[in-house]
Structure 1
Amino acid sequence: MSFVIYDLETSGLEPQWNVPLQAALIHTDQNLVPLGELSLRCRLPAHIVPAPAALLTTGIRPEQLEQSPLSSTEMLGIIAKALASWAPATVIGYNTIRFDEEVLRHAFFTHLLPPYATQVNGHRRADLLTMVRAVAMLEPAAITVPLGATEKPSFKLGDVCRSNGIALSEAEAHDALADTKATLALFRHLREVAPTTVATMLGLTDKGVANRMLASGEVMLLGGLSRLTPMVGVTPNPTVATSWATVDLTVDPAGYLDLAVEAIVGLFLQRGVRPIRTVKTNAQPILVAYEQGCHALQPDQRNLALYNERAAQIREHTGFRTNLAAALANRFTEREPSPYPEATLYGGGFLSNEDARACARWHASLWAERTAISAGFSDERLKAFANRLTLLEAPQSLSPTGWQKGQAWLRDRLTTQADVPWLTLPKALAEVATLRQTLPASDAARHGHLDAIERWLNKQTQFFQLAA
C-alpha cells in the first residue's frame, strides 16, 4: 500500500468554522519514495474571519488571504481528486487525526465534497504523532523526545525532528510543504529505528484489528499521551461500532461494577484516574498485547495475575456490561443539536448516496446549471452550503433579490455582536488587543505582523459599515 503524507495550515483552530488556507500532500510508494507532490494555497472565503493567533503562528500575511489564485472550493476539489486518484493509501500526517483531519472533513462537508475521503476507496488513516508517542513508550531508546520550556517532553514536530537529526527550523515550521517533508523524513526515521512498533501501529490503521483485540476479553495495554495502562475491552457503543468502552485494570472494579447507568455516565467525566475510557478503533489507538509492552510499565504495575482476575470479574458481570453499553448510547443524548449546518457533520446524519452523487454532479457542472442541481438535494444542509458557495464564488448567478439576501447574511455573519460560535470581526479585533499585550515589546516583527492584521480587520469592518 502507498502513503499520502499531508499537512494543512488553517484559518483557525475550530474545525466547524475554519478552512485550510494552505495544503501540501506527498504521495509515496510503500518504501516512502515520492511519486507525486502538491503544494496549494487558496483565498480566504469571504464569510470566514481568520484567527489573528493562527496568522501569527503560520506567518500568513493579510494580503496573502486575497491574492492566492485558487478559491477555497477549487483547492479542496484538487485535494479530493488527489485522494481519490492515489487510493488505496495510508493517509498520514502529524497530529492530523485530532486536527487536520477534522478541519478537512468539515471543509469537504461545507463544500459539497465527500467528508470522509480519507477513509473510503481503501484508504486508511494514521497519525505520526501517535506513532512517535508509541515509540517513546515502547522503545524509548530509539527516539529522542526533547524537553520543552516547561521541562516536560515536547512532541512538537519541529522539536522532535531537530532532536533526531531532521532539519526543520522555526522559520520553516508551519509552512505546509516544509512540515509535510519533515513528517515524511521523521516517518522514514521511525521505520528504521523502531520497526516493530511502527509495524504494530500501521496494523492498527485497520479498525478491524483493534476491534478484534478489544473483543477478545484479554488484558491489553492502552497508550495515552505518555504512559501505558493495563485494560480490557468491555463493550462497543451500541450506536457507534468503532467506539469501545474499556476499563483501567489498575482500578479495583468493586467500586463501579454495580453502579446504575446514570452513575456510570458520570465516570466518563471523573477527575483524576478514570476507571472507564473510550477507544476509537478507527483512529489508530495505541493498543498492544500485554507481553509486548509490559516492560514499559512501572515495576509495581506488572501484575498480570491481578489484571486477569479483574478482567474475569468484569466479563462475568452481565449487569455491568449491559449498563455500560446503555451509558455509552445515552452519553450525549441531552446535547442540543446545533442550529448551524456547518456544526452538524456528526449530529445531523450521514449524506444519502443520492445526495452524494448530486454533489458530484454539482461540482462537474457550470455555475448556471448548479442552482437546479442543488434544488434537488434532499438534505437541507447541502442546500444551505450550495447557496453560500454560489454567493461567494459566482454571485452573478444569483437573482438581484438573492444577491441582496446573501449580502445581508454575509454582513450579519461577520459583524454581529451576538454570542455566536464562530469568529467575527469584533471578536478578532479584541483578540488582536489581547495578543499585543502578551507579545514581548522587543519582538518587532510579530508586532508589525499584528499591526497589519489589525489594519486588515479594520478595513473589512469599515467596508461592511459602509455597505450597511
Structure 2
Amino acid sequence: MGYLFYDLEASGLQACFDVPLEAAFVQTDAELRIQRELTLRCRLPAHVTPSVDALLVTGITPTMLEDQPLSHLEMMAQIGRIMTDCRPCMIVGYNNISYDDEIVRQSNFQTLLPPYAGSMTGHGRADVLVMLRAVTMLELGAILLPQSPEGKPVLKLGEVCRFNGIGLSEDAAHDALADVRATRDLFKLLLDRAPTTMAAMLANANKSGPNGVMADDDVVVLGGFSRMVPVAPFIGSPTNPNARVVIDLSEDPAGLLGMQAPELLALIRAGRSPIRQVKTNAQPILFGWDQAVHALVEPLPLSVYRARARALWAHPTFTRQLALALEGRYADREPSPWVDEQLYSGGFISNADAAACQRWHQLPWDLRASFAAQHIRDPRLRSLAIRQVFLNAPETLSPEARRRGQDWLNHRLVTADEVPWMTIPKALARCEELVATGEPAARPALEAIRAWLVERRHALGPDAAALVEKGQAATPA
C-alpha cells in the first residue's frame, strides 16, 4: 500500500467558515518513491473574508485570491477524486487530523460532496505531527527538536525539518507543495530512526489498531501532547461510535466511586479529568503496556494499576453513572443557527440525499436550484445547494432568489452583528492593528490587503450594510 501526502493552505483557521485556497499532493509507493505531484489552487468564494494573518503567513496575495482557474467547488471536487482514485493508500499530512482533514470535511459538506470521503473509502489516516510526538516520548533522542527561548520543544514543521537536516526554508514554508515534500521527508526520517514506534503508530492509523490494543480491557499506555499515562479501557462512548472511554490510573481513581452522573459530568467539564476519550479513528498515541511502560514518569507496578482498574469495574453503580454523565455531556449545547456549523448537529446524511447530491453535481446550473428543492430532503443541504447556485450561477435564479442571495452575501461580508466568521470590518481592523504593531517589512503586503478589502466593500454598494437587519439573511434560500 502506498501513501498520499497532502497539505492545505486556507483562508483562516476556522474550519466551518474558512476554505482551502491551495492543496498539494505527493503520491508515493510503499517505499516512499514519488509517483506524482500535484498542486491545485482556487479562487476565494465571494462570501468568505480571509484572515489577514493567514494571508501574511501563506504569502497569498489579493491577486492570487481572484486569478485562479478553479472555483472553490471545482477544487473540492478534484480533491475528492484524488483521494478516491488513489486508494488503497494511507493519507498522511502534518497536523492534518486536527486541521486539514476537518477543513476538507467541512468544505465537502458545504459544496454537497461526501463529507467523510477521506475516511470512508478504506484509507488509513496518519498525522506526522502525532507520530513525531509519539517518537519523542517513546524513543528519546531518535529525533531532535528545536527549543523555544523558554526551553520548550518547537514542533513547527519548518523548524523541525531544518533542525534535522531536511530542506524547508522559511520562505518555502507554507507553500503547500514544499510542505508536503518536507512532510514526506520527515516521515521517512522517523521510519528510519524509530521503526518500532512508527510501526505501532501506523497500525493506529486504522481503527482496528487502537481497538486491538484495548481488546483485552487491560492497562495500556496513552500519550497526550507531552507525556504518557497508564489508562484502563472502559466503556464505549455513548455519543461517538468511534471512541472508547478510558480512565487515567496515574492517581488512584477511587474518588470517582460513588459519584453520581451530575458530579462526574461536572468533573469532565472542568478539564484535566481522569476520564478521557480515545478516538479510534484519529490515530491515537496508544500502546500496549510492555511497549510503552518505559516512557511513564515514575511508574508503579502493573499490579497496582490493575487493582485500581478492577475497583472501577467491580463497583455496582460507577459504569452506569459514567455512561449517564457522558450521554449528557452535550445536552445543554445550543445548536448553531448557521448551517456552516451544522455538519455534526443535524445527523448523518441519508443515502437518498447523498445520491441526490451526486446527481445535483451532474446537472447544468439552470436546473440545480429546482432539483434541490424537489429532491434533497435535508434542509441543511437544500440551503447549501441554493447557496452554491447563487455563488456560481446567480443568473439562473429568479429575481427574488437573487435578491435574497445578495442580502445574505451583504450580511456575510459587512454585518456589524457578533458573528463567528471573519467579516470585512473585522479584517480591516486587524490590518490597522498590524500596521501599528507589526513588522515594518509587512506593511506593503498589509496595504495591498487593506486596499483590496476596501474595494470589496465598495463593490457591495453604499447601502450594503443597511440591506440586512440584525439576525437576518442567514441563508440565500
TM above 0.5: yes
Match of 2:461 in 1: 465
Which stretch of structure 1 is more off in the superposition, 425-434 or 36-45? 425-434
Match of 1:157 in 2: 157
Listed as ranges, the gaps of 5+ residues in structure 1 are none
Could you tell me which amino acid in structure 1 is paired with residue 147 of structure 2? L
Match of 1:439 in 2: 438
Superposed CA deviations along residues 273-315 of structure 1, whole A, max 9, x for unmatched, are 42111111110000001111111222x2243221111111112
Count of matched residue positions in the alignment of Structure 1 and Structure 2 = 463
Match of 2:101 in 1: 101
Whether contact under 8 Å (1:47, 1:413) holds in the other structure is yes
- 1:258-273 equivalent positions in 2, closer than 5 A: 258-271=258-271, 273=272
Match of 2:467 in 1: none
- 1:258-337 equivalent positions in 2, closer than 5 A: 258-271=258-271, 273-298=272-297, 300-337=298-335
Could you tell me which amino acid in structure 1 is paired with residue 428 of structure 2? L
Could you tell me which amino acid in structure 2 is paired with residue 424 of structure 1? T
Whether contact under 8 Å (2:257, 2:312) holds in the other structure is yes
Whether contact under 8 Å (2:237, 2:243) holds in the other structure is yes
Aligned-partner Cα distance in 2 for 1:460–1:209: 49
Aligned-partner Cα distance in 1 for 2:181–2:207: 27
1:371 positional shift: 2.3
Superposed CA deviations along residues 33-85 of structure 1, whole A, max 9, x for unmatched, are 22222201100000000010111111111111111111101111110011111
Could you tell me which amino acid in structure 2 is paired with residue 180 of structure 1? V
Matched, 1:423 2:422: yes
Aligned-partner Cα distance in 1 for 2:266–2:215: 24
Q: What TM-score comes out, normalization by structure 2 length?
A: 0.94
Secondary structure, aligned partner of 2:214? helix
1:111 positional shift: 0.3
Matched, 1:39 2:39: yes
Match of 1:377 in 2: 376
Match of 2:118 in 1: 118
Secondary structure, aligned partner of 1:142? coil
Superposed CA deviations along residues 442-467 of structure 1, whole A, max 9, x for unmatched, are x32x1111111111111111222336
Aligned-partner Cα distance in 1 for 2:390–2:462: 20
Superposed CA deviations along residues 213-236 of structure 1, whole A, max 9, x for unmatched, are 334221111000111001111111
Match of 2:82 in 1: 82
Secondary structure, aligned partner of 2:461? helix
Moved over 4 A (4+): none
Could you tell me which amino acid in structure 2 is paired with residue 328 of structure 1? L
Superposed CA deviations along residues 88-110 of structure 1, whole A, max 9, x for unmatched, are 22111000000111111000000
Matched, 1:201 2:197: no
Aligned-partner Cα distance in 1 for 2:463–2:36: 45
Match of 1:448 in 2: 444
- 1:112-151 equivalent positions in 2, closer than 5 A: 112-151=112-151
Superposed CA deviations along residues 8-40 of structure 1, whole A, max 9, x for unmatched, are 000011100010000001122211122222201
Aligned-partner Cα distance in 2 for 1:307–1:436: 56
Match of 2:351 in 1: 353
Could you tell me which amino acid in structure 1 is paired with residue 458 of structure 2? Q
Match of 1:393 in 2: 392
**RMSD over aligned Cα, in angstroms?**
1.4
Match of 2:210 in 1: 210
Aligned-partner Cα distance in 2 for 1:418–1:270: 30
Could you tell me which amino acid in structure 2 is paired with residue 173 of structure 1? A
Which stretch of structure 1 is more off in the superposition, 22-31 or 42-51? 22-31
Whether contact under 8 Å (1:84, 1:121) holds in the other structure is yes
Could you tell me which amino acid in structure 1 is paired with residue 426 of structure 2? K
